[in-house]
Amino acid sequence: MCRYILAVPPKPEDKQHKLRMIYGNGLKPQIWTQFVERFNIPHVVEFYGATEGNANIVNIDNKVGAIGFVSRILPAVYPISIIRVDPETGDPIRNSKGLCITCKPGEPGVFIGKINPKIPSRAFLGYVDEKESQKKIVHDVFSKGDSAFISGDLLVSDEFGYLFFKDRTGDTFRWKGENVSTSEVEAIISNLVDYRDAVVYGVEVGSDEGRAGMAAILDQDGTLNITALADGVKKALPSYARPLFIRILRKVELTGTFKLKKRDLQREGFDPLKIEDKLYYLNPSGMYELLTEEIYVHIITGKIRL
């Protein structure tokens, strides 16, 4: 919502209010400071948690971008943790004893809530579908026989204990030997295109290893400046994180939480024979060029290297 409000042209009334605090979740770090300064918001409280989960965290310290805080003095007393996982599959990485490994500061991992059936707030009741419930539980976490609710969200902590959202497991993709956070790239792309809706995902390209980045951007009025986007991407993102393909959406179906349907877009890939929307690819000169059927074939067969 804050992104949509920022998209409205500034006016003198922006700071004419008596708000002393805003409270919610999902305020991206890339617009946090801009929103606070434009509307003169004294205090931001950001929280994080899943409706069905057994652990919640909150940032009450006005720490820009943080979604919560866990003291690094006695972290073991908290019923939550961040464990190492494969960023693409979300599967826990285990040590020689078969137990999960706690992440160090600056190391992304998945957020978990330790399950304790004796404490109602720490229990996990699950879903109607038992199979789906089991997918959200990881066993033998820090000792044999224990279990935890696995959120599926990648978080990272700093040296003080502030926690920051990175991405959803399964959304992160690997390209040129580097892991790319779709959430971070989405926020940057949205800023570059005047806060339009945008999603980023990885797509398979011929026999190339990993997945190349692709961004789908909603442009209902046809005013998106593709040249300015290319320039902005070049300045804001490292080469491996730049979307190599752009899909311009004129209309879109949203999820129940008003988000673009990323999985559907990802399955459709970047084939101009199957997609009616306008497609672009990042050419060797660093500009977005219209993706034709001929260019598509050259990319798939390796005649054009990305």
Does residue 254 surpass a pLDDT of 80? no
53-102 pLDDT per residue, tens: 898 999 999 999 999 999 888 777 788 999 999 877 789 999 999 999 99
Contacts of 166 (CB under 8 A, 6+ apart): 108, 153, 154, 155, 156, 172, 181, 183, 184
How large is the average pLDDT for residues 241-248? 98
* CATH code for residues 2-168: 3.40.50.12780
Mean pLDDT, rounded, of the chain: 91
Res. 297 pLDDT band, cuts 50 70 90: very high
Continuous H helices in the chain: 2-7, 29-39, 130-135, 182-192, 226-236, 262-268, 293-301
Half-sphere exposure of 151 (CA within 13 A, CB side): 27
Least confident of 19-28, 73-82, 160-169, 193-202: 73-82
Instruction: Tell me the three state secondary structure of residue 74.
Output: coil
- For CA atoms 48, 76, 108, 43, the dihedral sign is positive
Give span(s): CATH 3.40.50.12780, the chain: 2-168
Does residue 23 surpass a pLDDT of 60? yes
Res. 133 pLDDT band, cuts 50 70 90: confident
Does residue 257 surpass a pLDDT of 90? no
Domain 173-301 fold is: GMP Synthetase; Chain A, domain 3 (3.30.300)
Does residue 170 surpass a pLDDT of 80? no
Does residue 208 surpass a pLDDT of 90? no
Q: In which residue are the tokens 């004796």 written? A: 118
At residue 5, what are phi and psi to the nearest 5 degrees?
-65, -40
Q: How far is CA 172 from CA 55, 94, 179, 210, 227, in A?
A: 23, 20, 7, 11, 26
Least confident of 51-65, 114-128, 254-268: 254-268
Q: What percentage of the chain carries pLDDT values higher than 90?
A: 69
- Most confidently modeled of 30-34, 44-48, 204-208? 44-48
pLDDT of residue 172: 85
Q: In angstroms, rounded to a whole number, what is the distance separating the alpha carbons of residues 49 and 304?
A: 44
* Of 132, 134, 262, nearest in space to 201 by CA: 262
Query: Residue 199 forms beta bridges with which residues?
Result: 216
Strand boundaries in 158-290, DSSP class E: 162-168, 173-175, 178-180, 198-203, 212-218, 245-249, 278-282, 288-290
Query: Residue 168 forms beta bridges with which residues?
Result: 153
Host H or E run for residue 22 = strand 22-24
